Amino acid sequence: MLRGDLHILAILAYAMVATFVTLIMTKRVSALVGLVLIPIAFALIGGFGPELGPMMLTGIRDIAPTGIMLLFAILYFGLMIDAGLFDPLVARIVRFVGFDPVRILVGTAVLALTISLDGDGATTYMITVAAMMPLYRHMRLDTRKLACVLIMASAAANLLPWGGPTARAAVALKLDVSDLYLAILPAQLVCAAWVITVAAIFGYQERARLAALGSTDHEDPLTRKEMIKEDGERDASALRPKLFPINLLLTIALLAALIMNLLPLPALFIIAYVTALMINYPSLAEQRRRIEAHAGNALAVSGLIFAAGIFTGILSGTEMVDAMTDSLIGIIPPALGVYMAPITALVSIPFTFLISNDAFYFGMLPILSSAGAGYGLSPEIIAAASLVGQQVHLLSPLVPSTYLLCGLAKIDFGEHLRFTMPWALAACGIMLVACLLFGIFTLRA
């Protein structure tokens, strides 16, 4: 067993993550298979066979609330789509953006940035995809670009004080979260502008592609709207237009309860789902049909989430996370200490992808801050620098909501990773430059 040998464990950890990313991006294995079998194989190589069971169970137990929440969130929003809750929103979006790919992509970005203000990526994905997917499907737009815009918008909004990483950084370094957020706000706005810019680039690409295919036309918008409503994946018998006010109030109440944290998230979604199911489809036969209609997507996403629990359980249980942290700190020479702020920003890009936010901000960030303090760098500066990598973080196989997005957009996780990663890396670079230009931190202490 290699426990305690941090050098070998670090090599094993990097090899495991590299193997996983390579295999899923080259489509050699599915994400589900890779999340389970690859960490088990590397744990066995490290001699952790006898401890694998407890490690995996701990990882599954830790991820269970998120898995259950997303399972019932998928069922809830799927039911609301069936009932027609989002149809008026789709109609308004269609009137606003028309049928121009540029306006559709930019509208997607603006809608996602707006919904993301609640700090919950899963909610953003479900509502935005529900509103936009019929339009993308009808216009034959590339749904990889939809997923890319959504995840980048969510990452930009995730820097809000209630979004997660900013609060973690503040708590880890004992800072006031409001002060930290105000410091990074200019860079966040630049990131949001970059998301809209990328959406416009995608829109021009799609406009050119559709023109080359001879797919451009100028039909009357009402005709187009009627065609969008004739979505082949929609069951017209499930529509409940008379219950729209009740469904809207129920959804608003659910979102308010989520923000106010009245109950644990899994409990809120379970209660909301069974209430909506009973109100909209009182017949047992109808309820069974609605459950069956969304069971496939719900099972696929929740299965990936629990598989990710095995991955993280083994990564933590074998102490590979600790080994990766120590290996990073050990390779930074003292001569580079004056550059600790930009080093922290650059380090945050791969490491928030390789390990969880909790592991990075509570395990690695205090060490980076301590190293920077020796060169006169305040904790506020190191905390701000540590947030640069969040655009890449949401692409990590350890982030459950990313699997939800892939399921909703009907794209493969590896394909999503391969397509979105260059744009996310560009976003990290733009945020780093923005931080330097706005003086959030300087290149040299």
Tell the burial category of 202 from Cβ atoms under 10 Å away from its Cβ (0-12, 13-18, 19+).
buried
Q: 104: closest CA among 146, 156, 148, 153?
A: 146
C-alpha–C-alpha distance, residues 255 and 382, integer Å: 34
CA geometry: angle 141, 146, 149, nearest 5 deg: 140
Could you state, in order of their start, the residue ranges of all structural domains in the chain?
6-62+309-437, 63-292
pLDDT at position 308: 84
pLDDT digits (tens, 9 = 90+) for 196-248: 999 999 999 999 998 887 755 444 444 444 544 545 556 778 888 899 999 99
- Cβ within 8 Å of residue 110, ≥6 positions away: 196
pLDDT at position 222: 42
**Token code pair at residue 414:** 């590896």
Q: 351: closest CA among 384, 381, 329?
A: 329
Report residues of the chain scoring pLDDT below 50: 217-225, 227-228, 230
Tell me the whole-structure pTM to 2 decimals.
Answer: 0.78
